[in-house]
Chain A
């Protein structure tokens, strides 16, 4: 069977499965729509949280970014797993004890104010929409390759499918479809990794293969890779850092606390039966996430090695990479390159007119390397490879069987769709439940609430899809910005709500506004106002990354510090928290007496 037919078949089958489950368990009442009727087992909940969590950013984009960044890419790995430790200890059990549907519900009671709720909803919407922009970018990559269209066209097709998908199920449809999606995406991620690890190191376990020896040599795989990228003018793979160690540190903090502040993850812990389960549920979620996250570094390094080895035939043997015949000729390029050229995400430009592809770091600062490249007649790197295509192209580069390539396409789509659906649900509930039903239109019927939620979803998809065509960064980068926004706004307010009995509404509101405001100003300076290209204004601050060299993707951690500081300062100047709120905080700290998730 041809690759195209095989891809259609596998993607078609998995889609039929998800839609079947979603349709079959269609949400009936609003309660089911939001929390799946309560009572989901911690292991099942963990698996669904895993699928919800591992989005296009984790599946499609992350390994490509790590491959490109090398060691420093660890900030994604630690950032997107370490946050679960915070979530399990600082938030999940207490929010579960609180017994509400949504994050804004918590703000409404704990900060006894509609203003606090509205501010929280705005923070949620800004973070979630940014997140979906990243997802739509990933959806675009997956669909463009799958259907052989441009990446922009891929986004448009993806928008339609995400919409149908999210509108049909509520959380219930989503919980069980997500278990199915988890299975598809984890198989799709690990199977090619096992094949490639075997090819390159002879070890079938990718986590061990990465620490193993490069096949047919007595050199460690990572040492070999260090040599290869160094020879091509890039920084050493095992030590390369994004910007500075400080930036890497802050970036990791931002992703970790953002994890504990994103509504679509937190909402998961409202659906477990007991407080005790909320704690272990976070652990189970991380187990399922860790399977992918510990495989990703192997995928990253091996894809990088294979890519260089494909373009320059002397890389493997360690021969003269500057020899004219070492670079492959464009006419004999492999099929996978042709397929990706159609999407516009892989481009070749013959700068020196020799009909061969030279791929190296032409911005290298190493004079010795630059002299060699010039002597060889290289006039700039001629291949542009979008980082977001690496995971999907990886099995093709490694010449794996067609069914594996098809499975990876299906997995990428599953990852992107499941997370987009979870986020859309968070947006829908923030608008229809928290804003309309609880504040603006108290007599809204159940039907009206569902309808409002669906309209909100549709608007969010259109906005995110449009921005996703011209994204501020690669999918993982855009998602990192979303985490920064959540880290600077939601997380501090939630934490202070539980761990400080004296935090009052004025402090929380001022903190959220300051944290989010600071982060948005810094991010938009680099990416454009609301990510619209051409409206960047970093120039007025003199240079990019003007705050101690910290990148906009990492600034959320500083925003969180601003949030905490402003909140405590304002608290000390305003009226103290009422007694019944302090008593409520006391009771939230103790598991005993937690009711079901749905009755309040």
Chain B
């Protein structure tokens, strides 16, 4: 039991880490740090860095939460720790 619980937690932390990497790259990366460089690319009338900062990040955040919730559900099932 101890072992499985440790493994479960390890998997959860791994998932959180992966989601946070994407979360960081699209907002702080594309939206702030590299916005200047990305602005040279245009998305319609949007400079790309500007788009990430004022639009794109938000869409990606929404998607990330649902992806996380889904994958967490799977991990819960795998370890049989979901609620009844």
Partner of A592, one of B27, B32, B82: B82
CA A353 – CA B20 in complex, angstroms? 57
CA A248 – CA B33 in complex, angstroms? 10
In the complex with contacts A211-B46, A221-B45, A77-B58 CB distance below 8 A = yes
Q: Chain A interface secondary structure, helix, strand, loop or mixed?
A: helix
A81 within 8 A of B: yes
CA A297 – CA B50 in complex, angstroms? 10
The interface size of chain B toward A, counting residues with CB under 8 Å, comes to 44
Chain B residues with CB below 8 A from A213, complex form: 45
CB of B64 within 8 A of CB of A220, answer no
Please report which residues of chain B, range 41-64, place their CB below 8 angstroms from some CB of chain A when the two chains form the complex: 43-47, 50-51, 53-55, 57-59, 61-62, 64
CB of B33 within 8 A of CB of A297, answer no
In the complex with contacts A84-B61, A210-B45, A249-B33, A71-B53 CB distance below 8 A = yes
Please report which residues of chain A, range 272-319, place their CB below 8 angstroms from some CB of chain B when the two chains form the complex: 274-276, 279-280, 282-283, 286-287, 290, 293-294, 297
Residue among B5, B53, B59, B66 having the largest count of chain A Cβ atoms under 10 Å: B53
CA A593 – CA B82 in complex, angstroms? 8
Partner of A276, one of B28, B54, B82: B82
Chain B residues with CB below 8 A from A71, complex form: 35, 50, 53-54
The interface size of chain A toward B, counting residues with CB under 8 Å, comes to 50
CA A159 – CA B54 in complex, angstroms? 34
Shortest C-beta distance, A283 to chain B (Å), equals 4
A204 within 8 A of B: no
Partner of B65, one of A85, A208, A210: A85
Partner of B27, one of A82, A223, A245: A82
Partner of A78, one of B19, B20, B53, B64: B53
In the complex with contacts A84-B65, A90-B16, A586-B5, A249-B54 CB distance below 8 A = no
CA A591 – CA B39 in complex, angstroms? 44
In the complex with contacts A85-B19, A248-B32, A592-B81, A279-B69 CB distance below 8 A = yes
| Complex: chain B residue closest to A595, CB-CB | B83
A376 within 8 A of B: no
Chain B residues with CB below 8 A from A592, complex form: 80-84
Shortest C-beta distance, B35 to chain A (Å), equals 7
Chain A residues with CB below 8 A from B31, complex form: 74, 78
Shortest C-beta distance, A466 to chain B (Å), equals 35
CB of A294 within 8 A of CB of B58, answer yes
CB of A290 within 8 A of CB of B8, answer no
A212 within 8 A of B: yes
A533 within 8 A of B: no
CB of B27 within 8 A of CB of A294, answer no
Shortest C-beta distance, B81 to chain A (Å), equals 5
A89 within 8 A of B: yes
Partner of B69, one of A90, A221, A280, A297: A280
Chain B residues with CB below 8 A from A207, complex form: 55
CA A220 – CA B27 in complex, angstroms? 24
A58 within 8 A of B: no
Please report which residues of chain A, range 422-457, place their CB below 8 angstroms from some CB of chain B when the two chains form the complex: none
Residue among B19, B20, B68 having the largest count of chain A Cβ atoms under 10 Å: B68
Shortest C-beta distance, B36 to chain A (Å), equals 7
A594 within 8 A of B: yes
Chain B residues with CB below 8 A from A276, complex form: 69, 73, 76, 82-83
CB of A238 within 8 A of CB of B50, answer yes
CA A279 – CA B19 in complex, angstroms? 14
Having A71-B50, A222-B50, one finds 19 other A-B pairs with CB under 8 Å, namely: A74-B32, A74-B54, A77-B58, A84-B61, A85-B19, A85-B20, A88-B68, A210-B46, A210-B55, A211-B43, A212-B45, A221-B45, A252-B27, A252-B28, A275-B83, A276-B76, A276-B82, A280-B69, A594-B83
Q: Could you name 24 residue pairs across A and B whose Cβ atoms are closer than 8 Å? A: A71-B50, A74-B50, A77-B53, A78-B31, A81-B57, A85-B19, A85-B23, A85-B65, A89-B65, A210-B55, A212-B45, A213-B45, A220-B45, A222-B46, A222-B50, A276-B76, A283-B66, A283-B69, A286-B62, A290-B59, A294-B55, A589-B5, A591-B76, A591-B82
